[in-house]
């Protein structure tokens, strides 16, 4: 209870300041004619008991409000009278709730309207500075009976595996998505607007759309945090749209071999009545039919999980979370987990999911990314020095989104590192060590949630990271770029005596990440459902898979900047991807060979027995050269 009361005190102290700031923000919004983003002050979710009937104020838009009376004698386990709510665990503090309207529960879901007379419900609320400081309904625990416990159960939202949802939960999910899809694209809480935040071929028609669309973060160490924020607000919008205060975005656990086909609710019923269904060509027909699945090599994340560092210097992707750069929609190289499995799953799913400018149009996008978000927690829980980025730019850079009321809101990296304490959700199988031992930093006490700050624009406030010197040891001698067209490609890299000596020297010191093969100067127009398994000197005449000797990783072209588009930052440089080959060096160089062979094997979806399905033989991309580099 100490932590809880501490938070209450903080909010009490900053209350007057927050009002002044709120006024300043509103004034600023009037002056600039644009809504200023605010950090959403929705944590913690204070537990309340309320007795129906709870009268409903006049709704404005979706901002349905429920006026109520606070218990005058403090709460504890006191029973509320009709139309009254009481704090469950502490005395009422009138000064916290009155100004700005007060004594009102913002109920975007409409749940409070339907509490029958004489019925008690337990709910969670948190102050919403954007709606007259009303208490926002954040949790609807359900009907309860007196006597009430003074310590109510108010657990965080639990993101469950899609495989464990009940039929009623699936129906609610479908309904929420359908309601969002029925809203016009100009509405920030519409499905279209939310999907376009990631990327779109649609032309924005309003300043709000211009500012908000095409904002996803790929190829920088903001990848994980940005997508966590994106999903967080999507989850809230979805819950409100469904009118189901207990609906929580599920995840698709493709790490489970039994769950590598597209989850059934996204395939059936295969009709427009199912908001989760996307017909071909938005998805491959085999995926919708359930006859194709992701392969074991598609979802392999062992390389990324072996990484201990969250970030790496600009120009280097060999860290779990990616290179230290300014916020950028598409950048190269990608971080280890983003690259594999995140990018590879996108490309293998193909259709809408294969292109960042359409990916979020497929509702499976949110479940794929929830799984990515879940695995961020699991990576940290491995310990061994794994920790989130800690530099000021990562912690403090603000990214703007929209809440369920359509208000612009921002979050920073520092505000999303603890999903339970800061965002009020967890995954059903979060590692227990994280929850029990407060493994996450808790920056709450030092934050002023209510202060509106100017949006941070891309390119600003990035740390200067020096690029480590790169030793180019050998390079393929092709006169024109290699064409990747759905068939196995071989690239010869001639080795000089000097290159062999240097590679052996680097590999001999046993440290990992010394020798890399870089596929350099990659060009492509559009991803086409094909990715490539990359091998160094694989055994001849054998069927190759990721367990074969010489396998070093996958090449998947997703989330780079394949084409310059109006209003977007130009690509920072060539698209390139590097693979650590240190452990292969001694075998590859035995007998002083004249060259190394880099082999690219095309892959897409797999059949239900794990055999690769045929892939498109269209020209897909070119690779300028293969380079052996040392560090
Ligand atoms: Cu993605």
Of 119-128, 269-278, 515-524, where does mean pLDDT reach its minimum? 119-128
CA of 133 to the centre of ligand 1 (A): 35
| Residue 141: predicted pLDDT | 75
| Same domain for 144 and 222 | no
User: In which band, very low, low, confident or very high, does the pLDDT at 33 lie, cut at 50, 70 and 90?
Assistant: very low
Q: pLDDT: is 116 or 85 the higher one?
A: 116
Q: What is the DSSP string of 543-563?
A: ---TTSTTEEEEE---SS--S
- Helix axis angle for 2-13 and 15-32, nearest 10°, is 50
Indicate the residue among 107, 133, 154 that finishes a domain.
154
Cβ neighbours of residue 103 under 8 Å, at least 6 residues apart?
A: 67, 68, 69, 70, 97
| Same domain for 145 and 103 | yes
Q: Residue 68, class by beta-carbon neighbours within 10 Å (0-12 exposed, 13-18 middle, 19+ buried)?
A: buried
Q: Are strands 311-312 and 322-323 parallel, antiparallel or unpaired?
A: parallel
Q: Is residue 303 part of a domain?
A: yes
Q: Which helix (H) or strand (E) holds 412?
A: strand 408-412
| Residue 131: predicted pLDDT | 67
| Same domain for 233 and 164 | yes
| Residue 84: predicted pLDDT | 77
For 276, which DSSP code?
Answer: T
CA of 246 to the centre of ligand 1 (A): 25
Using DSSP's 3-state secondary structure scheme, residue 212 falls into helix
In terms of average pLDDT, the best of 289-298, 428-437, 578-587 is: 289-298
Average pLDDT for 131-153: 72
Decide if pLDDT at 502 tops 90: no
pTM of this prediction? 0.80
CA distance 269 to 367: 18
Q: Please report, rounded to a whole number, the percentage of residues in the chain having pLDDT higher than 90.
A: 43
CA of 283 to the centre of ligand 1 (A): 16
| Same domain for 533 and 433 | no
CA of 337 to the centre of ligand 1 (A): 11
Q: Is residue 462 part of a domain?
A: no
CA distance 77 to 83: 17
- CA proximity to 556, closest of 602, 599, 513, 510: 602
The tokens describing 177, both together, are 């998505």
The tokens describing 504, both together, are 């052996």
- CA proximity to 97, closest of 17, 12, 7: 12
Q: Is residue 452 part of a domain?
A: no
| Residue 45: predicted pLDDT | 55
CA of 177 to the centre of ligand 1 (A): 19
CA distance 464 to 485: 38
The values of phi and psi at residue 495, to 5°, are -115, 125
Q: Is residue 457 part of a domain?
A: no
- Helix axis angle for 167-181 and 191-198, nearest 10°, is 80
Indicate the residue among 88, 119, 154 that finishes a domain.
154
CA of 342 to the centre of ligand 1 (A): 6
CA of 35 to the centre of ligand 1 (A): 28
CA distance 559 to 198: 10
Indicate the residue among 134, 154, 174 that finishes a domain.
154
CA of 554 to the centre of ligand 1 (A): 16
| Residue 561: predicted pLDDT | 65
User: In which band, very low, low, confident or very high, does the pLDDT at 426 lie, cut at 50, 70 and 90?
Assistant: very high
| Same domain for 181 and 150 | no
In terms of average pLDDT, the best of 135-144, 298-307, 413-422, 459-468 is: 298-307
Tokens 């409070």 correspond to what residue? Answer: 112
Are residues 193 and 296 in contact, defined by beta-carbon separation less than 8 angstroms? Answer: no
Q: Residue 554, class by beta-carbon neighbours within 10 Å (0-12 exposed, 13-18 middle, 19+ buried)?
A: buried
Neighbours of 459 (CB within 10 A): 11
| Same domain for 165 and 45 | no
CA of 218 to the centre of ligand 1 (A): 8
| Same domain for 373 and 266 | yes
Alpha helices by DSSP H, 445-577:
497-508
CA of 620 to the centre of ligand 1 (A): 20
CA of 343 to the centre of ligand 1 (A): 7
Q: What is the CATH number of the domain that holds 533?
A: 2.60.120.1200
Decide if pLDDT at 506 tops 70: yes
For 251, which DSSP code?
Answer: B
Q: pLDDT: is 165 or 508 the higher one?
A: 165
Decide if pLDDT at 458 tops 50: no
Neighbours of 28 (CB within 10 A): 14
Of 443-457, 496-510, 600-614, where does mean pLDDT reach its minimum? 443-457
User: In which band, very low, low, confident or very high, does the pLDDT at 70 lie, cut at 50, 70 and 90?
Assistant: low
Q: Is residue 460 part of a domain?
A: no
Q: What is the CATH number of the domain that holds 260?
A: 1.10.1280.10
CA of 369 to the centre of ligand 1 (A): 6
| Residue 126: predicted pLDDT | 72
pLDDT tens-digit readout, 273-287: 999 999 999 999 999
CA of 360 to the centre of ligand 1 (A): 8
Q: Are strands 551-555 and 621-630 parallel, antiparallel or unpaired?
A: unpaired
CA of 345 to the centre of ligand 1 (A): 9
CA of 356 to the centre of ligand 1 (A): 7
Q: What is the DSSP string of 356-404?
A: TTTGGGSTHHHHHHHHHHHHHHHHHHT-TT-----SHHHHH-EEEEE-T
Using DSSP's 3-state secondary structure scheme, residue 477 falls into coil
Domain ranges, residue 593: 471-630
CA of 332 to the centre of ligand 1 (A): 15
Beta partners for residue 524, in sequence order: 621
Q: What angle do CA 354, 355, 360 make, to 5 degrees?
A: 90
The tokens describing 82, both together, are 């009709």
Neighbours of 86 (CB within 10 A): 28
CA of 217 to the centre of ligand 1 (A): 9
Q: Is residue 540 part of a domain?
A: yes
Average pLDDT for 341-361: 95
User: In which band, very low, low, confident or very high, does the pLDDT at 420 lie, cut at 50, 70 and 90?
Assistant: confident
CA of 192 to the centre of ligand 1 (A): 16
| Residue 75: predicted pLDDT | 47
Q: Which helix (H) or strand (E) holds 303?
A: helix 302-306
pLDDT tens-digit readout, 71-80: 544 445 567 8
Q: pLDDT: is 132 or 293 the higher one?
A: 293
Decide if pLDDT at 509 tops 50: yes
| Residue 38: predicted pLDDT | 54
| Same domain for 349 and 227 | yes
CA distance 45 to 495: 63
| Same domain for 324 and 225 | yes
- Quote the number of domains for the chain: 3
Decide if pLDDT at 605 tops 90: yes
The tokens describing 243, both together, are 């009118």
| Same domain for 205 and 245 | yes
| Same domain for 130 and 112 | yes
CA of 15 to the centre of ligand 1 (A): 39
| Same domain for 79 and 34 | yes
Q: Is residue 344 part of a domain?
A: yes
In terms of average pLDDT, the best of 38-42, 146-150, 169-173, 242-246 is: 169-173
3-state secondary structure 312-347: ECCCCCCCCCEECCCCCCCCCCCCHHHHHHHHHHHH
User: In which band, very low, low, confident or very high, does the pLDDT at 344 lie, cut at 50, 70 and 90?
Assistant: very high
CA of 276 to the centre of ligand 1 (A): 17
- CA proximity to 401, closest of 137, 569, 194: 194
| Residue 153: predicted pLDDT | 57
CA of 299 to the centre of ligand 1 (A): 13
For residue 165, what are the CA distances in angstroms to 250, 256, 367? 8, 16, 13
Q: Is residue 87 part of a domain?
A: yes
Q: Which helix (H) or strand (E) holds 482?
A: strand 482-484
- CA proximity to 106, closest of 126, 85, 120: 126
């Amino acid at each position: 209870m100490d932590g809880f009361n501490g938070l209450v005190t903080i909010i009490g102290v900053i209350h007057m300041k927050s009002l002044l700031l709120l006024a300043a923000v509103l004034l600023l919004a009037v002056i600039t004619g644009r809504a200023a983003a605010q950090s959403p002050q929705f944590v913690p979710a204070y537990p309340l008991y309320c007795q129906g009937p709870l009268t409903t104020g006049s709704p404005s838009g979706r901002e349905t409000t429920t006026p109520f009376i606070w218990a005058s004698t403090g709460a504890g386990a006191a029973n509320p009278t009709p139309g009254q709510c009481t704090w469950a665990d502490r005395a009422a503090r009138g000064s916290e709730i009155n100004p700005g309207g007060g004594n009102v529960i913002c109920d975007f879901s409409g749940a409070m309207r339907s509490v029958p007379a004489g019925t008690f419900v337990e709910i969670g609320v948190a102050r919403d500075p954007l709606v007259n400081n009303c208490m926002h309904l954040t949790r609807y625990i359900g009907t309860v009976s007196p006597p009430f416990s003074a310590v109510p159960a108010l657990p965080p939202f639990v993101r469950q595996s899609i495989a464990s949802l009940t039929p009623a939960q699936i129906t609610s999910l479908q309904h929420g998505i359908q309601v969002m899809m029925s809203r016009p694209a100009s509405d920030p809480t519409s499905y279209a607007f939310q999907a376009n935040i990631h990327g779109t071929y649609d032309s924005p028609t309003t300043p709000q759309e211009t500012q908000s669309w095409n904002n996803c973060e790929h190829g920088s160490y903001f990848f994980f945090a940005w997508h966590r924020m994106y999903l967080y607000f999507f989850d809230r919008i979805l819950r409100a749209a469904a009118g189901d205060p207990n609906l929580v975005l599920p995840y698709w656990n493709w790490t489970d071999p039994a769950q590598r086909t597209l989850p059934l609710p996204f395939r059936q019923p295969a009709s427009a009545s199912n908001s989760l269904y996307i017909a071909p060509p938005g998805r491959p027909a085999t995926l919708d039919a359930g006859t194709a699945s992701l392969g074991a090599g598609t979802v392999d994340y062992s390389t990324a999980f072996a990484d201990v560092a969250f970030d790496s210097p600009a120009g280097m992707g060999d860290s779990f979370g990616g290179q230290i750069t300014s916020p950028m929609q598409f950048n190269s190289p990608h971080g280890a987990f983003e690259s594999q499995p995140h990018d590879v799953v996108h490309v293998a799913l193909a259709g809408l999911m294969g292109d960042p400018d359409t990916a979020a149009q497929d509702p499976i996008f949110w479940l794929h990314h929830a799984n990515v978000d879940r695995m961020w927690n699991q990576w940290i829980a491995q310990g061994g020095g794994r920790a989130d980025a800690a530099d000021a730019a990562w912690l403090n850079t603000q990214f703007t989104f929209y809440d369920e009321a359509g208000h612009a809101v921002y979050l920073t990296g520092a505000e999303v590192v603890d999903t339970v304490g800061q965002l009020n959700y967890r995954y059903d199988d979060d590692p227990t060590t994280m929850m029990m031992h407060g493994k996450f930093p808790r920056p709450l006490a030092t934050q002023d949630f209510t202060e509106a700050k100017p949006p941070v624009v891309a390119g600003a406030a990035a740390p200067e990271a020096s690029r480590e010197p790169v030793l180019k040891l050998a390079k393929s001698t092709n006169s024109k770029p290699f064409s990747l067209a759905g068939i196995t490609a071989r690239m010869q890299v001639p080795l000089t005596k000097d290159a062999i000596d240097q590679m052996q020297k680097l590999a001999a010191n046993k440290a990992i990440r010394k020798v890399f093969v870089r596929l350099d100067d990659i060009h492509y127009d559009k991803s086409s459902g094909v990715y490539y398994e990359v091998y160094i000197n694989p055994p001849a005449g054998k069927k190759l898979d990721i367990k074969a000797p010489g396998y070093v990783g996958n090449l998947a072209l997703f989330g780079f900047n394949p084409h310059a588009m109006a209003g977007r930052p130009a690509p920072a440089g060539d698209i390139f991807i590097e693979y650590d080959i240190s452990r292969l060096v001694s075998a590859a160089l035995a007998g002083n060979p004249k060259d190394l062979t880099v082999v690219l094997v095309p892959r897409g979806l797999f059949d239900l027995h794990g055999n690769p399905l045929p892939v498109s033989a269209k020209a897909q991309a070119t690779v300028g050269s293969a380079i052996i580099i040392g560090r």
